[in-house]
């Protein structure tokens, strides 16, 4: 059966998931990799577009909107007497050499780049990274021209950095998906004993891989729509365990098989 047909059937049919338990493990592993790829695409797309747009807009703003500055001894210095906050094209740029704004305030701005008194803040697709200036300017003096040159260098490396970032994200997502399926398969062993079904861990692992399909597709759609789902982890595990339970229930009991 085609892997995408299996995906479609796994969304609504526990009976078909039960039948998939006899297929070769290699096909199931491939299926998990495909699921991981699908779930990675929305995050990778929004992160990449936010990152690329942020680099481009930051370059323009450094030239036109932000005053000259230096970073020395881990501290940002400029002639500005108050924080500068610029929002454009869904991106917020925060420049504050006064120390009045916190990194939490920048984080609440959504997609944002913040140059604060003692650190830089990057927020993209609800993911936040903090960079203390002392990490790269402990014994050196950086100016806005140096930062501008650095950003231009990053911009020229985007054709390499973007695929590498996607690969890293995909590997992380795949590893998380395999760990989740393995844990769910152990839960399947408990369920099969409770339901008196004669199946092995290999069978529950295969069924677990298909049981996470509904949850994975749902959260992929929500991520595509940029919709935050409360208690996402709890919902994922509840749905996956429920689907696995219904699939195991479809298997003839040990007494019937005898």
Ramachandran quadrant class, 125 (left: phi over 0; alpha: psi -120 to 50; beta: rest): left
Q: How far apart are CA 92 and CA 50, in angstroms?
A: 11
Is residue 51 domain-resident?
no
- Model confidence at 186: pLDDT above 80: yes
Task: Please tell me the total count of domains within the chain.
Answer: 2
Q: Do residue 143 and residue 85 come from a single domain?
A: yes
The residue length of the chain stands at 258
Please give the average per-residue pLDDT across 214-219, as a whole number.
Answer: 97
Q: 196: domain range?
A: 3-45+162-257
pLDDT at 136: 65
Q: Which of 108, 127, 157 is the last residue of a domain?
A: 157
Q: Which of 100, 128, 157 is the last residue of a domain?
A: 157
Please give the average per-residue pLDDT across 202-228, as a whole number.
Answer: 95
139-153, 167-181, 205-219: least confident range: 139-153
pTM: predicted TM-score of the whole model, two decimal places: 0.76
Q: Do residue 82 and residue 36 come from a single domain?
A: no
Q: Do residue 175 and residue 252 come from a single domain?
A: yes
Q: Do residue 172 and residue 250 come from a single domain?
A: yes
Contact 165, 47 (CB under 8 A): yes
Q: Do residue 75 and residue 144 come from a single domain?
A: yes
Q: How far apart are CA 107 and CA 124, in angstroms?
A: 9
Is residue 96 domain-resident?
yes
Q: How far apart are the first and last CA of the chain?
A: 29
- Model confidence over 234-256: pLDDT tens digits? 999 999 999 999 999 999 875 54
82: which 2 tokens?
Answer: 């108050």
Q: How far apart are CA 40 and CA 220, in angstroms?
A: 8
């Amino acid at each position: 059966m085609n892997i995408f047909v299996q995906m479609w059937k796994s969304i609504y049919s526990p009976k078909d998931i039960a039948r998939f338990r006899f297929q070769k493990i290699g096909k199931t592993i491939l299926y998990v990799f495909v699921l991981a790829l699908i779930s990675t695409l929305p995050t990778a797309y929004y992160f990449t577009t936010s990152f690329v747009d942020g680099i481009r807009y930051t370059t323009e703003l450094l030239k036109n909107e932000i005053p000259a500055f230096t970073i020395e001894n881990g501290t940002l210095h400029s002639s500005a007497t108050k924080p500068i906050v610029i929002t454009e094209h869904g991106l917020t740029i925060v420049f504050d050499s006064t120390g009045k704004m916190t990194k939490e305030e920048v984080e609440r701005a959504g997609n944002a780049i913040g140059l604060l008194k003692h650190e830089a803040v990057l927020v993209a697709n609800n993911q936040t990274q903090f960079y203390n200036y002392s990490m790269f300017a402990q014994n050196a003096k950086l100016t806005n021209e140096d930062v501008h040159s650095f950003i231009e260098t990053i911009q020229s490396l985007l054709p390499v950095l973007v695929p590498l970032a996607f690969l890293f994200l995909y590997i992380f997502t795949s590893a998380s998906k395999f760990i989740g399926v393995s844990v769910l398969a152990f839960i399947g062993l408990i369920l099969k004993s409770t339901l008196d079904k004669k199946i092995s861990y290999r069978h529950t692992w295969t069924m677990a891989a298909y049981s996470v399909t509904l949850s994975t597709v749902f959260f992929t759609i929500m991520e595509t729509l940029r919709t935050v789902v409360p208690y996402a982890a709890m919902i994922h595990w509840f749905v996956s365990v429920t689907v696995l339970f219904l699939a195991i229930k479809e298997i003839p009991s040990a007494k019937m098989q005898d």
